[in-house]
Amino acid sequence: MNFDIALHIDLAIEDNDFVLNDSLSPRTLKKADVIGQDIKHRILESGLLVKLIGLRNKNGIAPILTDIELLTEQDDRIKPGTINVYRNDDGTLNITAQTRQYGSLQSGL
């Protein structure tokens, strides 16, 4: 029995609600997807995204992106120094990182 999988299982949440599968049961996430969801929720709860609203100046945006990187790096399941946060032209964020157990991770906000 592979116990690594049992360590990282969670219910999928989008827009503050459970995501249901075809049989109307809550969909589950595994491995790196769980870590990505946890990081996304940590960032949303931190209030850092609110600070980005309306900012267009790169000098104002860069420190907030750095704070998001530092917040993400606090997760022990992520390899330190592998986190990259990108702000897209449409204002959304992409986060990439390497997990300790499951390889690469990509999450969007």
**Three-state SS across the chain?**
CCHHHHHCEEECEECCEECECCCCCECEEECHHHHHHHHHHHHHHHCHHHHHCCCCCHHHHHHHHHHHHHHHHCCCCECCCCCEEEECCCCCEEEEEEECCCEEEEEEC
The model carries a pTM of 0.82
pLDDT tens for each residue of 19-60: 898 999 999 888 899 999 999 999 999 999 899 888 888 888
pLDDT tens for each residue of 59-80: 889 999 999 999 999 999 999 9
- Structure confidence at residue 42 (pLDDT): 93
- Structure confidence at residue 6 (pLDDT): 53
